[in-house]
Amino acid sequence: MCVSDADESYLGFTYEATDFSPAQEYDYIIVGGGTAGCPLAATLSENYSVLLLERGGVPTSDPNISYENRSLNPILTANHDDSPAQNFFSEDGVFNTRARVLGGGSMINFGFYSRADDYFYQNSGIEWDMNAVKSAYEWVENSVVTRTDGLGKWQASIYNAFVEAGVRPDNGFTLDHVQGTKIGGSTFDDSGRRHGAVELLNKANPSTLKVVVHATIDRVIFSTSKTLAAVGVTYHDSKGTHHEVRVKRDGEVILSSGAIGSPQLLLLSGIGPYSSLSSLNIPVVREHPFVGQFMADNPRNGINLLVPVRLDDVGVRVAGITETGPYVESTAVPRVTSIIPFIPFLDLIPPLNLSVVVIGGKVSRPISTGSLNLISSDVTVSPKVRFNYYSHTEDIRQCGNLVEVLRKVLKSEAMEEYEFPGILGPNYFTYIGPSLPEDSSDEESIATFCRLTLSTFWHTHGGCLVNKVVDGRLKVIGVDSIRVVDASTFFSSPGTNPQATVMMLGRYIGEKILNDRSVNAIRY
């Protein structure tokens, strides 16, 4: 499994919003050309006219996106205005980012590709056909996923360290989510070139798909003449000119704007809690109390080490799926800028013969949830989001399990060469930031470590949950002709890293829509 050079033929049907004159109607208008929106648009274009609207630009405009050794740069250069990654702080005070580029989060992440866990399928509320799920994954993987030829020095070391630490069995390479230590797929090929969701647009019918970038959607338009239904959207281009486009009869507006963008757009369009909408003078189209609720972000905790070895294999190829809950991953840090918000406490570039490594864990199923609320009726003003990290003791307990795994990792033979030599005593690890708590039975010190080292895995989900906001086919409950297809519908983050499942979801729902319309056409 190895993809070829990046295919940019999608640029042939991609337009700047300022230069694009939309048709009056399309069968489908997809809001958000991200990790789900790109495969969804490509699939629907097989039989129908599709307009894909993306608020960001094309990834070719930023060389930092394309290469694994620059994979931190989009986060480092994130701003509020026009960067591929838009930065924000949650109300919890944790630095975070959301994608603003064609291809979405798959263009600014660390590339690890792993399918969802059984728990996700069994509890998501989405109506799954597992044969179709498998086919959708394979459709994605044939275009953008590489099976790594061999592990670099650091990834090989951390693989062995996880196994020695008891994260077993030793699974070797697999795309499936299985307990133990595994090598996963990657959306970076062996030359370090990224292949994200944007390349799935190359599978589209170029005569029926129009992709428009720098098109910021203001709101969804609804008709109430008979039943409440979405009939189109309004959007503005980079010059501030507003445009209105509509969907044809039996068409749909589909929100694929991510866990921040999709609930925000529903709220701005008048679907949400009456009290909060009316306080901003937003006309209530339908009261939906759970829009923006049950927001979650998996905590990331871990340690940062300065090691006496030059490491060049940046990126993530290995994951440990523990029996006690957390998922563990590690990466050597690219030798980039001096201030790295990705790593709390890191503010240096190591000398040439030294490197920095991050060994981190993800609380896999946090119970703590929060909410998203508008602070303005202007779509360009980011909503306020609170995740309430570690408000449940069960999440702290799972972080404590992570601490114990990391302690065993550091005691493994595979990690010995990364210690500094002790002149008068034993060899030692050099921490950047907090070290692991000395007493594994001291619950208070573990809780302090978990809160002190808290950061994000960028695996935000919730806000438009199934059976709360959307039904099992991801249609907005009580409103016709509108769906939400992205991680905002997830109550848990699938697998170790969600991008595989989000891309699969776009293809899967697209095929379901095509099949449903085909059956209805035969029936009538």
**Residues forming the active site:** 459, 497
Distance CA 509, CA 256 (A): 12
CA angle, corner 159, sides to 153 and 162, nearest 5?
Answer: 140
Distance CA 128, CA 473 (A): 9
CA 43, distance to chain mean position in Å, is 20
Distance CA 300, CA 448 (A): 14
Distance CA 254, CA 474 (A): 10
Q: Are strands 112-113 and 170-173 parallel, antiparallel or unpaired?
A: unpaired
Distance CA 340, CA 362 (A): 20
- Phi-psi map region of 198: left, alpha, beta (phi>0 left; psi -120 to 50 alpha): alpha
Of how many residues is the chain composed? Answer: 524
Alpha carbons within 13 A on the beta-carbon side of 346: 28
Token pair recorded at residue 86: 């838009």
Using the structure block, give the residue that is written with the tokens 């563990």.
328
Token pair recorded at residue 266: 């529903």
Q: Hey, which bits of 141-295 come out as E strands?
A: 170-173, 180-183, 185-186, 209-213, 216-223, 229-236, 242-255, 271-272, 286-287, 293-295
Handedness of CA 57, 58, 60, 64 (dihedral sign): positive
DSSP state letters, 473-522: T-BBTT-BTEEE-SGGG-SS--SSSTHHHHHHHHHHHHHHHHHHHHHHHH
Q: Are 82 and 380 in contact (CB under 8 A)?
A: no
Q: Are 55 and 39 in contact (CB under 8 A)?
A: no
Distance CA 370, CA 390 (A): 11
Distance CA 398, CA 35 (A): 29
